[in-house]
Structure formats: structure tokens, C-alpha cells
């Protein structure tokens, strides 16, 4: 899908209408169907609305939690959440800046990898960034239901050792549950359920890598809301 089409007519109006109704506390699912049907949005466009637009209050709270540095910090990493965003960008799928200023994607991988080799490249990109930033500890959580999660966990642990970092990668059924328990450290995720349930700082790792490594020009929903 050409991102230029997201700046045109019906989609621009759908963003404004959806944002207006969400701020009036209309239910998200019902509002998505109403607006999606009204403007005949496709699946990607509906995903962008649902994942990318939050009410002003929630968006501002999340934005205020974003931190710019992980140097010397204990990191709690929602592994697949971070890596799938990078993978979707590399696969040419839509990656966008939400109105809470956190990067998300419309890739809809649903735990099924399309390019294992490219996925391992994304892991390397992530660790190249860590080697520059030098966090004190990296604590990865990855979802056990995802295919080949044991292989991915082993590779991440190997990278931790190879890069002389302190850390561990664990396979768990639901990373959300484990990550929300942390009272200290910086959380690396775009998952709103996790972000809204913790008071920890949040670091948008995909955004930093996409800008520093690929000089990515990301579709920005904020540009549509303010016009």
C-alpha cells in the first residue's frame, strides 16, 4: 500500500472523525466499524486507526513517559513487539508514528514470520544499537506461541554474550503479564496495554533504529489530526 494514499481525501477525514469520536469516549471497536464502513477503509487503514489513534488524554500520558536515553539502564524488552515492527519495515509494510508519538505497524504478522533471514538481520540491527548505547542489562521476553520462539530465544542469548552485554532472553506465554510487574527499569514496547499499566519510562527502540540506521520517513498521523 502506497503511504501517499494515506494523506488523501477519505482517509484524512476518517482520521479526524475517529479521533473526534474517541475523544468523546465512544467505544473503540464500534467506532472503528462505523468510520471504517463510512469511508470504505481497507484492512490496513482500519489497523492504522485502531493502533495509531488514542484519545488526547491517553496520548499525552504516553508521550510524557518517553525517554531519549538507555545508556546504563536496565531494559525490559517486549521482544517480538519490537522486532516485528523492524521486520515489517524491512518487508515494505506500513510503519507509522501514532498520535502518542510511538511507532507502530500495520503488518499483521500474527506470530507468523515471512522471512526468517530478514528477522535475524533485525536482531543484529537491534544489538548494533545496544552496543552503541551500552545499557546495564537487557531483559528480553518473547512469546512462546510464536513459531520457532526457542530458536529465536537461543539466538538472542547468543547475541547478548557475543556483544559482551549483561542480560537474558526468556520465553513466556504472555510477555505482557511479566513486563507489567516491573517497578523499575525502562520498558521497550509499543503495546498500549503494557504502557498504560506501568509507571516506568518507555523507550521507542524501533523509532530510534529506523531513524538512525535507515533514515526512515514515517507516515505521521499527527499531521492529519492537526489539519
Same structural domain, 87 and 195: yes
**pLDDT on residue 110:** 59
In a domain, 223, yes or no: no
**pLDDT on residue 6:** 77
Same structural domain, 133 and 47: no
In a domain, 183, yes or no: yes
In a domain, 107, yes or no: yes
Same structural domain, 120 and 142: yes
Q: Which domain holds residue 211?
A: 66-217
* Number of domains, the chain: 2
State how far the alpha carbon of 102 is from the alpha carbons of 167, 179, 184, in Å. Answer: 25, 18, 21
Q: How many residues does the chain have?
A: 227
Same structural domain, 46 and 119: no
In a domain, 58, yes or no: no
Q: Which conformational region is residue 174 in: left (phi greater than 0), alpha (psi within -120 to 50 degrees), or beta? A: beta
All three cell numbers of 11, joined, read 482517509
Q: What is the CATH number of the domain that holds 208?
A: 3.40.50
Would the pTM of this model clear 0.85, i.e. be above it?
yes
In a domain, 101, yes or no: yes
Structure confidence by residue, pLDDT tens digits, 109-150: 655 676 889 999 999 999 999 999 999 999 999 999 998 999
All three cell numbers of 133, joined, read 548505547
Structure confidence by residue, pLDDT tens digits, 4-32: 667 778 999 999 999 999 999 999 999 99
In angstroms, the CA 120 to CA 69 distance is 25
All three cell numbers of 114, joined, read 515471512
Same structural domain, 164 and 191: yes
State how far the alpha carbon of 76 is from the alpha carbons of 3, 64, 136, 149, 190, in Å. Answer: 32, 19, 11, 18, 12
In a domain, 168, yes or no: yes
Same structural domain, 93 and 202: yes
Same structural domain, 47 and 90: no
Same structural domain, 111 and 21: no
In a domain, 224, yes or no: no
Q: Tell me the pLDDT of the chain averaged across its residues.
A: 93
Percentage of the chain beyond pLDDT 90 is: 90
Same structural domain, 93 and 196: yes
Same structural domain, 41 and 75: no
The DSSP output letter for 66 is B
**pLDDT on residue 107:** 80
State how far the alpha carbon of 204 is from the alpha carbons of 124, 189, 195, in Å. Answer: 17, 7, 11
Same structural domain, 194 and 146: yes
Segment 178-193 mean pLDDT: 96
Structure confidence by residue, pLDDT tens digits, 146-185: 989 999 999 999 999 999 999 999 999 999 999 999 999 9
In a domain, 227, yes or no: no
Same structural domain, 163 and 209: yes
All three cell numbers of 54, joined, read 488514542
Amino acid at each position: 500500500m502506497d503511504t501517499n494514499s494515506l494523506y488523501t481525501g477519505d482517509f484524512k477525514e476518517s482520521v479526524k472523525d475517529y479521533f473526534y469520536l474517541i475523544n468523546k469516549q465512544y467505544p473503540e471497536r464500534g467506532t472503528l466499524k462505523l468510520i471504517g464502513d463510512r469511508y470504505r477503509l481497507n484492512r490496513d487503514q482500519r489497523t492504522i486507526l485502531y493502533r495509531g489513534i488514542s484519545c488526547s488524554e491517553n496520548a499525552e500520558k504516553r508521550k510524557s513517559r518517553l525517554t531519549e536515553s538507555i545508556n546504563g539502564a536496565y531494559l525490559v524488552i517486549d521482544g517480538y513487539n519490537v522486532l516485528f515492527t523492524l521486520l515489517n519495515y524491512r518487508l515494505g509494510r506500513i510503519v507509522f508514528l501514532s498520535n502518542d508519538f510511538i511507532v507502530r505497524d500495520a503488518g499483521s504478522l500474527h506470530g507468523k514470520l515471512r522471512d526468517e533471514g530478514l528477522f535475524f538481520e533485525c536482531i543484529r540491527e537491534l544489538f548494533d544499537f545496544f552496543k552503541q548505547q551500552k545499557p546495564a542489562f537487557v531483559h528480553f521476553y518473547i512469546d512462546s506461541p510464536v513459531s520457532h520462539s526457542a530458536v529465536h530465544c537461543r539466538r538472542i542469548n547468543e547475541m547478548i554474550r557475543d556483544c559482551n552485554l549483561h542480560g537474558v532472553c526468556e520465553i513466556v506465554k504472555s510477555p505482557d503479564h511479566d513486563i507489567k510487574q516491573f517497578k523499575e527499569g525502562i520498558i521497550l514496547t509499543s503495546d498500549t496495554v503494557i504502557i498504560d499499566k506501568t509507571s516506568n519510562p518507555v523507550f521507542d527502540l524501533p523509532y530510534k533504529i529506523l531513524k538512525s540506521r535507515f533514515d526512515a520517513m514515517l507516515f505521521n498521523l499527527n499531521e492529519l489530526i492537526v489539519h
